[in-house]
Chains A and B, each alone.
Chain A
Amino acid sequence: MAKPIATLRSATNIPTGRLAVWWLLASEIVIFGGLLASYIMHRLGHPEFGDYASHTNTLLGGINTFVLLTSSYFAVRAHFEAEHGRGATAAKWLYATIGGAVAFLCIKSYEWTHEISEGFTITKNAFWSFYYIAAGLHGLHVIGGALIMFIVAQDAKKNRELQRVELVGLYWHFVDVVWIFLFPLLYIAK
């Protein structure tokens, strides 16, 4: 589909796609912000949340933090290659980023299976409700990001729509940053 002229204009000198992704992230920040603010208010009012949090697996959470940060580095490499017009290489780095997402989800599944088998389910109490819903919402973003990166990589391979490599990278950094907030709040604060 040809793009309307509206899409090609740039009164702010910021490409339309990048502008839109920033607005998307702004609205996402408020979603996670509301969730985390609610959690923090509960956490402050319920010291016993600290005891519950001691049942989370800090080591695996830490490894996952490392995995996500590494995948963000791959996303930066993809952006670098795309900027220089090397779509095929950019696609390879995007696949590496997707690999990071998959590793993250595998570790997450192992963690959750373990916790659920010990009886710490989403209905156990408010802490575990928050734990699963915050990490779950984040996990959905990881899955969504991986799918979008896959689609972008298909175009990038053929040197098409290379600007999207940067845009999906922006999104991926955001997913990363959300985890940087979740990890200390849910795992470390005991």
Chain B
Amino acid sequence: MATPHEHAHPPDEHGHDHGAGHDHGHHPQSFWSKYVFSIDHKMIAMQYMFTGLAMGIIGAYFSYVFRMQLAYPGHHVPGYGVVSAAEYNMLVTNHGTVMIFWLAMPVLIAAFGNYLIPLMLGCDDMVFPRLNRLSYQIFLLSALVLIYSWFVQGGGFGGAWTAYPPLSAKSQYNLTPAGSSLWVVAVALEFVAFLIGGINFVTTAMNSRAPGMKMFDMPIVIWMIVLASMLFMGSVGPLVAGAVMLLFDQTIGTSFYDPVHGGDPILWQHLFWFFGHPEVYVVLLPATGIVAEIITVFSRKKLFAYKTVLYTAFGTGVLSFFVWAHHQFIAGIDPRMANVFTATTVLISIPIAEMMFVFVATLYGGSIRLTVPMLWALAFIAEFMIGGVTGIFLGSSGSDIYFHDTYFVLAHFHFTFVPIAFISVMAGISYWYPKMFGRMLNETLGKIHFWGTIIPFNGIFIPLFLTGMAGDHRRIYNYNNFPELATEHMVHLREFATVSLLVLLAFQVVFIINFFVSLKSGKVAGNNPWNANTLEWQAPSPPPHGNFAELPNCYRGPYEYSSPNREKDYWPQNESV
């Protein structure tokens, strides 16, 4: 913890900030101030990461239970019991909620953002450390409220993660009077946590870069996290207001979404998706940033078209505000509007496709090293492309009318979201683990985990494209009640998906073992095990409080690999000539 005697200097004439590392860390810290109420950005990043991953385990457990119910309806699920219809709804709703708001957001944005922004920009902390701590505390509270909501009278909310009224607004429909209100409160708190965190991220990136580091010298992943924070700030506001309105409709009987008293249920859909679609890019952009870092380092080649990547990200960000109604093609919107939103939706695939081409172009001619992080990064590109291409069928209003609310949508969504929330997270963890913990992960176990995840992942969701095209509606609890969907062929596809999920989950044990065993007995990493250029690798592993012994200056962009004028094939940003 910082003391009043500490003397922090502004950068002097020569641009060096002296002494950051010396003033910190000399005072013994209690367990509470070090691990629980820490204001160190790295500890807060760890708090976000472990909370997020723990929530992810809960979300995965939910998916296990409802996939078992779908494949073997009415049977006892080992580790759960018989799944009732209400429980099924609660499980799918909270699986979606947890994975998006309590896994993808905290890990991709908050954990990587908190960890990487100060280190990659060459400073000692975020600009508002106490605000940072507050952000995590509100986030933790939101997670606890959500967990509590599953155990109240009537059970957890089961109206889908999109929470459309009137189902979500009236307890005589959703039968979860307490669960649905707590769900809204939890989501709103989570938004507040990320608004606070986002202000911190954006301000830090704008103001606290190392002397000499220009905006276009920042690593792509920092840009992406900052842009994601801005997108979040720009899109979540209406839903914050909308969430309060929904809460009031639920609890005190206002009529914002009740047409009988002059309200409008479609209003919620607009507010939700005006946030919900940019939200896809809020989590996508940091994921692509992580992939960009890894692909460049392990191709030993300069990132192809740095500025193009940024412009595609800006373009995506702007366009993402004009695509939301493609979720509402069958909600009764004007067909002329549907045409407009079809056009914008198909347009947004252009910048994203361009970004993927940039990554492939970076690989071209590089000396590619298939390390574990690189495998994950390459898998991200391959799997995300499947998600992107199938999205075109859903963005076109004509075909969407057929596909809407089928398993095709679900499979498409997971081919975008699993690469984001899982594959890129694994890429990031395996890449920065040596920096975070000072030791290397085991490569063999890492590769076993990689293949044991990627193969069954496709095994889960490719069959679901097929069942979706054959008419499986995504909100059905027991297909035995629908004889035309309970044919032998369809049942087999559902079973195949479920068994694939079991295989995928089993292989996660390898990761957990690798993670914890390597903490103790992994190879010592040293400062820069990957020979990377960005500033976080110039700090000790793990970085002490204050990060750098002497805060670095920056002399060049982050991707100077294999320069012909140098003996070494990398050129750290802080090395003058």
Give me the interface of A with B, judged by CB distance under 8 Å: 1-12, 14, 16, 19-20, 23-24, 26-35, 37-38, 41-42, 45-46, 48-49, 122-123, 125-127, 129-130, 133, 137
Partner of A23, one of B199, B244, B261: B199
Instruction: Known A7-B127, A34-B271, A38-B238; judge A129-B263 contact (CB<8 A).
Output: yes
Instruction: Known A14-B207, A30-B234, A127-B262; judge A8-B8 contact (CB<8 A).
Output: yes
SS of A interface (majority): helix
Partner of B256, one of A5, A27, A126: A126
**Residues on B with beta carbons closer than 8 Å to the beta carbon of A46:** 262
Q: Is the CB of B255 within 8 A of A9?
A: no
Q: Is the CB of A27 within 8 A of B241?
A: no
**Residues on B with beta carbons closer than 8 Å to the beta carbon of A3:** 8
Q: Is the CB of B238 within 8 A of A4?
A: no
Report the Cα distance A125→B236, complex, angstroms.
Answer: 26
Q: Is the CB of A129 within 8 A of B127?
A: no
Q: Which of B17, B125, B126, B206 counts the most A-chain CB atoms under 10 A from its CB?
A: B206
Give me the interface of B with A, judged by CB distance under 8 Å: 2-4, 6-11, 17, 20, 118, 123-130, 195, 198-200, 202-204, 206-209, 213, 233-242, 244-245, 248, 252-256, 258, 261-264, 267, 271, 274, 551
| A-B contacts, 29 listed (Cβ < 8 Å) | A4-B123, A4-B125, A4-B127, A4-B129, A5-B17, A5-B20, A6-B124, A6-B208, A8-B9, A9-B123, A9-B209, A16-B208, A19-B203, A23-B233, A26-B233, A27-B198, A31-B238, A32-B237, A34-B242, A41-B267, A46-B262, A123-B252, A123-B255, A125-B261, A126-B261, A126-B263, A129-B255, A129-B263, A133-B245
For residue A190, give the distance in angstroms from its CB to the closest CB of chain B. Answer: 16
**Residues on B with beta carbons closer than 8 Å to the beta carbon of A32:** 237, 241
For residue A170, give the distance in angstroms from its CB to the closest CB of chain B. Answer: 14
Report the Cα distance A26→B254, complex, angstroms.
Answer: 28
Partner of B238, one of A30, A48, A129: A30
Q: Is the CB of B242 within 8 A of A9?
A: no
**Residues on B with beta carbons closer than 8 Å to the beta carbon of A20:** 127-128, 199-200, 203
Report the Cα distance A40→B126, complex, angstroms.
Answer: 39
Partner of B199, one of A1, A24, A133: A24
Q: Which of A3, A7, A37, A49 counts the most B-chain CB atoms under 10 A from its CB?
A: A7
6 nearest A-B residue pairs (beta carbon): A34-B238, A30-B237, A126-B262, A31-B237, A4-B125, A2-B6
For residue A128, give the distance in angstroms from its CB to the closest CB of chain B. Answer: 8
**Residues on B with beta carbons closer than 8 Å to the beta carbon of A8:** 8-10
